[in-house]
Amino acid sequence: MQIDNEFLNYDLIIIGGGINGAGIARDAALRGIKTILIEQEDIGSGATGACSGMIHGGARYLISDREVTKLSSIDSGYIQYIASHLIFRIPFIHPIPSDYPNGKLFIEQFETFFFAYDKFQPYKNGKQHTRLTQEEVSELHPGVTKDILGAVTFDEWGVDPFRLALLNAISASENGATVLTHTKVIDIIKENDKVNGVKVFDKQSKRIYEIKGKVIVNAVGSWSNIFANKFNLTMKIRPAKGIHLVIARRLSNYAVGVFAIDNRVIFIMPHKNTTIIGTTDDDFYGDPGDIPITSDEVNYLLDSIEKIIPDIKKHRIIRAFAGVRPTVYNEYMMEDDLSRDHLIIDHEAIDNIKNMYSVIGGKLASFRFVSEEVVDIISQRLSVHISSKTSLIPLPGSERSINLQELSHKYKLSLFVLNKLYSKYGDRMLIILNMIKSDNSLKVNICKCESVSEAEIRYVIKYELARTLDDIRRRTRSGMGSCQGTGCTLAISSILKDELNLSFEDEMLEVKSFIKERYHGNKPILNNNISIQQIELNMVNNMLLTGLDID
Ligand SMILES: Cc1cc2nc3c(=O)[nH]c(=O)nc-3n(C[C@H](O)[C@H](O)[C@H](O)COP(=O)(O)OP(=O)(O)OC[C@H]3O[C@@H](n4cnc5c(N)ncnc54)[C@H](O)[C@@H]3O)c2cc1C
Q: Is the pLDDT of residue 1 over 50?
A: no
Given phi > 0 = left and psi -120 to 50 = alpha, else beta, which region is 181?
beta
**532: confidence class by pLDDT, cuts 50, 70, 90:** low
CATH architecture of 5-47+162-236+340-382: 3-Layer(bba) Sandwich (3.50)
Residue type for 254, please?
Y
Q: What share of the chain is helix, strand, coil (3-state, %, to 5)?
A: 45, 25, 30
pLDDT score for 529 = 63
Instruction: Using alpha carbons, select from 134, 169, 163 the residue that is nearest to residue 149.
Output: 134
Among 16-25, 329-338, 391-400, 502-511, whose mean pLDDT is lowest?
329-338
Percent of the chain with pLDDT over 70: 95
**523: confidence class by pLDDT, cuts 50, 70, 90:** confident
Ligand 1 pocket, residue 241 CB under 6 Å = no
pLDDT score for 330 = 82
CA–CA gap between residue 195 and residue 161 (Å, rounded):
32
- Closest approach atom of ligand 1 to CA 244: 1
Q: For residue 47, how far is its CA from the centre of ligand 1 (angstroms)?
A: 3
Cβ(321)–Cβ(50) below 8 Å: yes
Give 480-519 pLDDT, tens digit per residue: 998 888 889 999 999 999 999 999 999 999 999 998 888 8
Ligand 1 pocket, residue 221 CB under 6 Å = yes
**336: confidence class by pLDDT, cuts 50, 70, 90:** confident
Instruction: Using alpha carbons, select from 201, 233, 241, 239 the residue that is nearest to residue 217.
Output: 233
CA-nearest residue for atom 49, ligand 1, is 46
**119: confidence class by pLDDT, cuts 50, 70, 90:** very high
Percent of the chain with pLDDT over 90: 85
Ligand 1 pocket, residue 324 CB under 6 Å = yes
Ligand 1 pocket, residue 365 CB under 6 Å = yes
- Closest approach atom of ligand 1 to CA 186: 41
pLDDT score for 339 = 80
pLDDT score for 542 = 66
**337: confidence class by pLDDT, cuts 50, 70, 90:** confident
Mean model confidence pLDDT for the chain:
93
CA-nearest residue for atom 21, ligand 1, is 48
DSSP, collapsed to helix, strand or coil, labels residue 270 as: strand
In DSSP notation, 325-377 reads EEEEP-SSS-GGGS---EEEEEHHHHH--BTEEEEEE--GGGHHHHHHHHHHH
CATH architecture of 87-157+238-337: 2-Layer Sandwich (3.30)
First to last CA, the chain: 35
Sign of CA dihedral 240, 188, 164, 435: negative
H helix or E strand, kind and range, residue 91: strand 87-97
CA-nearest residue for atom 25, ligand 1, is 18
Q: Once rounded to an integer, what is the mean pLDDT over residues 67-77?
A: 95
CA–CA gap between residue 185 and residue 16 (Å, rounded):
9
**551: confidence class by pLDDT, cuts 50, 70, 90:** very low
Neighbours of 65 (CB within 10 A): 18
Ligand 1 pocket, residue 48 CB under 6 Å = yes
Q: For residue 361, how far is its CA from the centre of ligand 1 (angstroms)?
A: 9
Question: Does this chain's domain 5-47+162-236+340-382 share its CATH topology with 87-157+238-337?
Answer: no
Q: Which of 86, 293, 363, 371 to mutate to test the pocket of ligand 1 (most atoms within 8 A of CB)?
A: 363
Give 206-255 pLDDT, tens digit per residue: 999 999 999 999 999 999 999 999 999 998 889 999 999 999 999 999 99
* List of E strands, 423-550: 445-447, 452-453
Q: Is the pLDDT of residue 7 over 60?
A: no
CA–CA gap between residue 347 and residue 259 (Å, rounded):
41
Per domain, the residue ranges of the chain are 5-47+162-236+340-382, 87-157+238-337, 444-550
